[in-house]
A and B are shown apart, each in its own frame.
Chain A
Amino acid sequence: KNEVEQSPQNLTAQEGEFITINCSYSVGISALHWLQQHPGGGIVSLFMLSSGKKKHGRLIATINIQEKHSSLHITASHPRDSAVYICAAIVPSNTDKLIFGTGTRLQVFP
């Protein structure tokens, strides 16, 4: 069993829909990243959070440390949101350790 699990693996949506991607982890973490990877593209950090909620434009990320769960929400989804979304847990250690989920592939159709 992976230490960081994402669901769903694949997600399709119509433009304008509200989208939720979930990330659960079984290890102790100090913070969690949400990353975005467009096809053929690099990886961009959307959020890093250790508690509560962060918002940037149409994107909202929440984390519940006690429940070991984080969600990424996209409001009013758009075809340009089509990408792979990856959560990555920052493990409290004396190493540069990130544990990655296997990603959620999102396709938003017009």
Chain B
Amino acid sequence: EAQVTQNPRYLITVTGKKLTVTCSQNMNHEYMSWYRQDPGLGLRQIYYSMNVEVTDKGDVPEGYKVSRKEKRNFPLILESPSPNQTSLYFCASRGGLNTEAFFGQGTRLTVV
């Protein structure tokens, strides 16, 4: 089954404690992105990658890191999480330009 898998689904952590949210897709997609979703602000892009070892900033990259060492995986790293990073995070993948996006189930992160 074609899917994008994120882990964990829920995470509560403390300010400053490094964490990683994993994202994996099984569709051999070139494009992968991370988004955060906040009430009243909708979905905003954090980082994206259009190929292995190629990543670029989206609209709200501050406080986040990503890597794309293999095509299927695109982890999101918060080196020093802060309460303003409390949000619902989505990973998505696409096969290329003008192709359908597939989203993961989301990760609800709370930073206290």
The size class of the interface chain B forms with chain A is 20 to 34
The answer on a CB contact under 8 Å between B33 and A43 is no
Interface residues of B: mostly helix, strand, loop or mixed?
Answer: strand
The answer on a CB contact under 8 Å between B101 and A42 is no
Closest to A94 in B: B50
The answer on a CB contact under 8 Å between A86 and B42 is yes
The one of A42, A50, A88, A96 in contact with B31, judged by C-beta atoms closer than 8 angstroms, is A96
Closest to B6 in A: A42
Considering only residues 68-93 of chain A, those with a C-beta below 8 Å from chain B are 86, 88, 90, 92
The answer on a CB contact under 8 Å between A42 and B104 is yes
Chain A residues in the interface with B (C-beta under 8 A): 30-31, 33, 35, 41-45, 48, 50, 86, 88, 90, 92, 94-98, 100-103
